[in-house]
Structures are given as structure tokens and as C-alpha cells.
């Protein structure tokens, strides 16, 4: 029975940690589900397990919900992430299992861990695809079913990094998924194309620190491994419509740029 994933650098005062997963299945799953602490990695203490809720949706009973909340929102994402076969399976799914967790200013990550434990159980029982809503990513059900119950947090399983051209000589880079940890996502703009790998490493490292409990607030300075100082400010999505952010975000700009 694993303990809750810790936050070794936890600083109080963050926002709520929110998880939203949608598992799509061609078959109706057992009720109740055979969730096991040892087999699926459900944490054995803390508020994480209690914060998780599961709602089953049947296409035959609510086709409008499927059309709006699955097909319209995620069909393209599933096809891009998993290919046409998985996309076809998702389009044909008759059942959706919505896993949600919300915990105010969590001092551990048991809510994230518990949500994935429930998803692992659902996928072992037959779900074909899992959509991680806040990270904007789709996973094959077989991959989720194969997750080790005793694993540690893998930040790159929880957060997705995106890149988009802003012009011929610059790109934007941003994270999605830090909402799970009660932290804002991070945005870089004006990145030179050749510097994209360095931007990805910076976002990965900062995402790991925030998941571990650190906080970045507007006005804070962040130093890169190359010694560059970045200043955090609230991200204004109307200025960079190419950046598709869901929820709060911080823009990190070179200090010299004000």
C-alpha cells in the first residue's frame, strides 16, 4: 500500500489541485470497480483518496454529452496523440468514466495518485483510452493499465509541453497540467527556434519544482541554468492567441525586457 506522493518543497498558499481524467470504454465496467491499494497504487492515507469522484456516462442514455464533451473536444487530440486506430475506438466507445479530484492547497499529491490508481483499475477492466483533460493528452488504456502501482511521480506523465510559431524567427513554449498541483502553468515567448530544447528543459525543471510544492508568484525572479534571470508576470492570453492555455498561467520574460 503506497504512501501518498510527497511534496518535499511544499510552500502553502497555492490554489486547489484539480485532476480530470476521462476513460473511454467499449464495454460497461463492473460496479463497484475492484480497486485495490496494492494492485492499483491507491494511497493508503491522507485526503487524496477521499477527494476522487467517479461518474459513469453511457452514450445511449446521453448522446448529447458524448458529442459535446468527448467527440467535439477530444477527437482530434486522440488522433494526434494515439493515431487513427485509437481515435476510431474512442469514437465508437459506448461508455465514459469521468474521474475528478479537487483538493484545496494540497500538501501531498495523493489526489493525483488516487485518480491514476482508479484509471489503472478502469483500464484493466477494459477502457481503451484515457484523456488527461488538464494536460491535454491522451493515453492508451493498455499503457495506463501497465502503470506500476508502486511508482513515483513522473512529472512528464502529468504535464505536457507545447510549442507554437509566433513568427518566422520565434516560437512560444508552454506547459499544461500544473493545475493538478494547484500551480499556474508557465509560458515562454520569443524563444528562438534553435533554443527550443533549452526551453523544454527549463519548463520541465520548473514544472517538477512546482509539482514538488514550490511556488512562483508574479514579480518573482527565476534563474536559468545558463544564468539568465526571468521575471514572472500574469499571462495575458489575448496578447498571444497562439498559446492555448486552460486556466491560470505565468509568463516568464527576461528581466532586461521588463
The alpha-helical segments, DSSP class H, found in the chain are: 37-40, 63-66, 72-82, 84-92, 110-124, 141-145, 155-158, 196-211
CA 137, CA 116: separation in Å to the nearest integer? 14
Residues 150, 152, 157: CA angle, nearest 5 degrees:
115
pLDDT in tens, 177-197: 999 999 999 999 999 999 999
- pLDDT, mean of residues 212-227: 91
Whether residue 143 has pLDDT greater than 60: yes
Closest CA to 178 of 144, 150, 152, 203: 203
Mean pLDDT for all residues in the chain? 93
When pLDDT is cut at 50, 70 and 90, the band that residue 258 belongs to is: very low
CA 68, CA 57: separation in Å to the nearest integer? 13
CA 184, CA 177: separation in Å to the nearest integer? 9
Task: Give residue for cell 507554437.
Answer: 164
What is the share, in percent, of the chain residues with pLDDT greater than 90? 83
- pLDDT, mean of residues 57-77: 92
The end-to-end CA distance of the chain, in Å, is 49
Whether residue 204 has pLDDT greater than 50: yes
CB atoms within 10 A of CB 248: 13
Q: What is the pLDDT of residue 246?
A: 82
All structural domains of the chain with their residue ranges: 17-153, 158-257
Amino acid at each position: 500500500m503506497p504512501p501518498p506522493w510527497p511534496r518535499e518543497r511544499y510552500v502553502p498558499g497555492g490554489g486547489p489541485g484539480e485532476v480530470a481524467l476521462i476513460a473511454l470504454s467499449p464495454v460497461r465496467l463492473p460496479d463497484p470497480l475492484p480497486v485495490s491499494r496494492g494492485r492499483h497504487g491507491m494511497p493508503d492515507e491522507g485526503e487524496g483518496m477521499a477527494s476522487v469522484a467517479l461518474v459513469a456516462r453511457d452514450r445511449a442514455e446521453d448522446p448529447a454529452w458524448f458529442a459535446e464533451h468527448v467527440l467535439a473536444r477530444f477527437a482530434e487530440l486522440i488522433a494526434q496523440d494515439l493515431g487513427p486506430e485509437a481515435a476510431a475506438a474512442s469514437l465508437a466507445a459506448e461508455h465514459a468514466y469521468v474521474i475528478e479530484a479537487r483538493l484545496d492547497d494540497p500538501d501531498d499529491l495523493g489526489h493525483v495518485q488516487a485518480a491514476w490508481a482508479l484509471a489503472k483499475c478502469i483500464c484493466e477492466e477494459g477502457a481503451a483510452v484515457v484523456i488527461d483533460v488538464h494536460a491535454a493528452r491522451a493515453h492508451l488504456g493498455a499503457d495506463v493499465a501497465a502503470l506500476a502501482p508502486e511508482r513515483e511521480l513522473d512529472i512528464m506523465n502529468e504535464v505536457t509541453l507545447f510549442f507554437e510559431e509566433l513568427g518566422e524567427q520565434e516560437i512560444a513554449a508552454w506547459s499544461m497540467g500544473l493545475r493538478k498541483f494547484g500551480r499556474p502553468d508557465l509560458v515562454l515567448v520569443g524563444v528562438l527556434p534553435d533554443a527550443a530544447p533549452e526551453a523544454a528543459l527549463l519548463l520541465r525543471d520548473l514544472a517538477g519544482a512546482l509539482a514538488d510544492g514550490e511556488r512562483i508568484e508574479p514579480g518573482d525572479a527565476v534563474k536559468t541554468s545558463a544564468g539568465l534571470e526571468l521575471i514572472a508576470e500574469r499571462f495575458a492570453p489575448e496578447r498571444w492567441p497562439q498559446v492555448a492555455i486552460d486556466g491560470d498561467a505565468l509568463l516568464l520574460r527576461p528581466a532586461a525586457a521588463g
